Amino acid sequence: MSNLVRIIICSALLIGTVALFWTGNWGWGILGILITILGFVTVFFHEYMLIAQWYMRKQDMASAEKWLRKITNYEKQLIPQQHGYYNMLIGLIESQRAPMQSEKYFKKALALGLHMDHNIALAKLSLAGVAMAKRNKREAEKLLQEAKKADKNKLLADQIKMMKDQMGMLDKQQIRYNR
């Protein structure tokens, strides 16, 4: 459904809610406010993406992918601010299945723009993991530093530390292998 249609429907719901309050139907008016808010939220956050994020929190990647794949043309169906987040969600799903394939989605998400610092940090941390898997230590270290800088609230501090520790273990293994 087009965002313009959603805005028109939500505006009609808002007018109806005001009418309910005007006539003294407070219970129905409060329900009308909740439905109107839910409608306006779907203008800015696509309902399929919200459902996919819910499934991702439950660690059900198959269901999350099913809902994201229902967005057939994200450039037309989503507002421009959501394009980066769509690619990041697809990248997170791909990283579970084929980590090397997820790199293009994370790079595209960063190029399109992510507005929250912890999402930028997550994308860079994921790219660092891909770089580490490709044995590109220099790029992995650079991306980890960028992820650490972007993670202002320290939400990913444990994961960043764990990845640095893994890089240190890889260095020790390479030193032993080269001897």
Residue 174 clears pLDDT 80, i.e. is over it: no
Range 52-74 average pLDDT: 92
Distance CA 26, CA 37 (A): 16
How far is Cα of residue 65 from the mean position of the Cα atoms in its chain? 13
Phi/psi at 152 (5° precision): -70, -30
pTM reported for the whole predicted model: 0.77
Choosing among 3.90.1150.10, 2.60.40.10, 1.25.40.10, 3.40.50.1370, the CATH entry for 46-178 is: 1.25.40.10
**pLDDT (average), residues 22-38:** 93
Confidence at residue 1, expressed as pLDDT on a 0 to 100 scale: 60
What CA–CA distance (Å, rounded) separates 16 from 169? 63
Per-residue model confidence (pLDDT) at position 111: 93
Residues with Cβ < 8 Å from 14, sequence gap 6 or more? 36
pLDDT over 70 at 75, yes or no: yes
Q: Both tokens of residue 74?
A: 């994200």
| Residue 89 pLDDT class (50, 70, 90 cuts) | very high
In this structure, how many other beta carbons lie within 10 angstroms of the beta carbon of residue 86?
23
Q: Which residues make Cβ contacts (< 8 Å) with residue 90, sequence separation at least 6?
A: 68, 105
The one-letter amino acid at 105: Y
> What is the spatial distance between Cα 40 and Cα 132, in angstroms, rounded to a whole number?
42
pLDDT on residue 13: 94
Structural tokens at position 67: 């809902």
User: Count of residues for the chain?
Assistant: 179
pLDDT in tens, 155-167: 888 898 888 888 8
pLDDT score, position 157? 85
Residue ranges per structural domain of the chain = 1-44, 46-178
Cα dist from 137 to 75, 106, 142, 172, 173, whole Å = 34, 18, 9, 13, 13
